[in-house]
Structure 1
Amino acid sequence: MALLAPLIAVVAAVVVTSLVLMVAGASVGDFWSLIFTAPSGRSWVNIINQTSMIFLAALAAAIGFRMNLFNIGLEGQYTLASYTAALVAGAAIFPGKLNVLVALVVAVVVGAIWAGIAGILKVTRGVSEVISTIMLNAIAITLVGYLLSNHGQQYGQGRRTPPLPDSSRFEGWQLFEKTDGNVWTLVLLAVVVGIGVSVLINRTRFGFDLRATGANEAAAVASGVNVKKMIVISMLLSGGIAGLIWMPALFGQAGYYGPTFQHQLGFTGIAVALLGRNRPLGIFFGAVLFAWLSEQANKLQLQAGISPSIVQITQGVVVLSVVVAYAVVQRWRAIAEQRALRTALDAGVTPEGVSAA
């Protein structure tokens, strides 16, 4: 049963994507051949780096989902946090690596505050976090665009924040040849945050209260959980992690906030959180899958004349298939358990886990 849902999802994704390719007049064989071709050294580096940011985004979304909160505002939270952190780091107020640490703290605080607005609105005014976070997305993106346009440095055809000093950059590690680029140092940040979130959710009282509230709010209230407090803290925590999403790229390669900023990571994180069932280990594999598909998509247009947009369809089908497959398998499991219970009772046997009358 545990393997059935992912298997159904994979088969469904392959079938639907192949049908889309045939309708579009593209070669199904060429598509799957390129997707599953072993990546080059540079592609592996890109996959690792992208996985770290997608993983952080999905962890931020998962915190809210486990609490039964839909933090749709990751995009605005990490955009505003990235701009602010780049501004602080570019100002070089602090020396060396202390400058990096301060910028990371600023990113966490800004992301948490922006998400906390939605949490406070929910517990004080009853405003749905879905509506408020979507509106906050628009406000954050517009605000950053305005500040960058009016106060940023001219850079080519666009504008940017002041570049980071050399002492605040992390060159990362070379896994392959020098021309293949570096794995960013702050990829380790994603590992640390992943372990921290796993311990927090599964090994602490706060994590138990969070899971209990998400599963059954009425039961959580009856057991003494302050639901309003949990909502605010969960949104702050989700936003704080969201603030870190682009930090590996900022200090590993970009060096400033500007034209190189990568959008849509927040929305990708939401999809990967659903794909990974809001568990850090599942999220990790989902992040690797999405990073793999995105990197391999770069070859499609050049080598097979297939639009890379097909990969976005594949990603969407994978997420939808997983959600549907898990729902179907859970229903099958419930039916099987009821049938086994009925059979045991008819035979006069007390099933395991059921106390005798």
Structure 2
Amino acid sequence: MKERFNLRRIGLALIAPVLALVVAFIVTSLVLVAVGDPVGDVWAALLDRPRPRSIVNIINSASVYYLSAIAVAVGFRMNLFNIGVDGQYRIATFAAALFAGNGWLPGPLNVAVAILIAMVTGGLWASIAAWLKVRRGVSEVISTIMLNAISAGLVGWGLRTVGERAPGSNTISTREIPASSQLEGFAWVPGATGKVFTLSLLAVVVGFVYWFVINRTRFGFDVRATGRSETAAVASGVKVPRMVMGAMIASGALAGLVGMPALFGLDHSYGLNFQSGIGFIGIGIALLGRNHPIGIAFAALLWSYLDKSSDSLQLKAGVAPQLVFIIQGVILFAVVIAYEVVRRIERRMEQTEVARQLRTERTEKEGAPA
């Protein structure tokens, strides 16, 4: 009976993403028909095998998206909405680039300390929102959104104060990281001119640590308990304010890692053109992956694949690359709705199963000899 019940739960868990993708396919096709775009050409372009160069770009972007999503997921696991990952990784990357650019330490040590500085900076920046929530009752949604704007202003001021302008360019950036600290990457994709970021390995490490801490430690148990029922957590002795501080700081520290792969593997400095918005992408990916490290990995790859397919849509199908945003949005909504529908079905089935077992036990008791 238990085995059958577990198989049923696994089946329901698999149905949700499949149902979401089907719905996304249907809705996107209807949108294409409505605006007069070629449905077949669009899906042929999206499903076409990417070139080696595109595969490298997909992996690199997916690793960055994964780090952002894990940072968001830490807060989600205890019903904390850390909307400030974008600001946290921005100010953390600036601090790390500022330190690494001076080259005070030799090669790998310079990289390691810069990563540590990024994590500390991200954690400290997130602790402001945590303190406001614990001590003043300020919603973390409001405080982190405001901190995003403040961090953008601080980084902009910092760049104009200590940044350098390249000759003949209007771009201001921090001092370039010494060559001994620049990471060449891995030539994992045959035929590709680019390389996979060396620090994409951070995504693997962070994913495993996240799984281990959440599922195998007391801290992780307290996080999950607080997220499911704060009242029950308090009754069991969990210090909720301390958990809020710990979870937000951990989320900010992980957010500090978001900019590291590109900083040491591609850009080698932090400038005004450094990619922004990754924190908000992480929110969508965390939702798609249901805060599970493996689910987030698939969601990050899917999101990155769609991002890199925008150019091929314009070249092969003759449609606007912004169509990718519609597909991503539809998939996100479809996944959220599909999981909610499956959750309700699962709860109904559990109630039916419990009621059946109770009836069976009552019948056995009534039929037992006195």
Q: Give the TM-score band, short-chain normalised.
A: over 0.9
Structure 2 match to 1:198 = 211
Root mean square deviation of aligned Cα: 1.5
Name 2:286's counterpart in structure 1.
273
Partner of 2:8: none
2:120 counterpart letter in structure 1: V
Return the alpha-carbon distance in structure 2 between the equivalents of residues 135 and 251 of structure 1.
29
**Which residue pairs with 2:175 in the alignment?**
162
- For residues 345 and 227 of structure 1, the distance between their equivalents in structure 2, rounded to whole angstroms, comes to 37
Unaligned runs of 5+ in 2: 1-11, 365-370
Question: What does residue 87 of structure 1 align with?
Answer: 98
The reply on whether 1:46 has 2:57 as its aligned counterpart is: yes
AA aligned to 2:325 is Q
- In structure 2, C-alpha distance between the alignment counterparts of 1:86 and 1:262, rounded to whole Å: 14
Q: Is the 8 Å Cα contact of residues 52 and 191 (structure 2) preserved in structure 1? A: no
Q: Which runs of 5+ in 1 are unaligned?
A: 352-357
8 Å Cα contact 1:344/1:350 also seen in 2: no
CA–CA distance in structure 1, aligned partners of residues 191 and 361 of structure 2: 71
Q: Paired residue for 1:317? A: 330
Deviation at 1:348, TM superposition (A): 4.6
Q: Offset of 1:343 from its aligned partner? A: 3.6
Residue 354 of structure 1 is matched in structure 2 by none
Alpha-carbon distance in structure 1 between the residues aligned to 2:163 and 2:36: 45
Q: 1:350 to 1:145 in 2, by over 3 A?
A: farther
TM superposition score normalised by structure 2: 0.92
Closer, same or farther in 2 for the Cα pair 1:184/1:165, shift >3 Å? same
SS at structure 2 position matched to 1:3 = helix
1:223-262 superposed matches below 5 A: 223-262=236-275
Aligned length: 351
Cross-structure match for 1:299: 312
Amino acid at match of 1:135: M
Q: CA deviation at 1:179?
A: 5.2
- Cα distance 1:179–1:337, how it changes in 2: closer, same or farther (>3 A)? closer
Q: Does structure 2 retain, via aligned residues, the 8 Å contact 1:301–1:308?
A: yes
Taking the aligned partners of 2:107 and 2:359, their CA distance within structure 1 comes to 73
The one-letter code sitting in structure 1 at the alignment partner of 2:263 is: L
Query: In 2, Cα distance between the equivalents of 1:193 and 1:335?
Result: 36
TM-superposed CA distance for 1:253, in Å, is 0.9
Aligned residue in 2 for 1:184: 197
Which residue, 345, 364, 367 being the options, matches 1:332? 345
Question: 1:174–1:181: 8 Å Cα contact kept in structure 2?
Answer: yes
TM-aligned CA deviation for residue 189 of structure 1: 1.1
User: Scaled by the length of structure 1, what TM-score is found?
Assistant: 0.95
Is 1:131 aligned to residue 142 of structure 2? yes
Are 1:284 and 2:289 an aligned pair? no
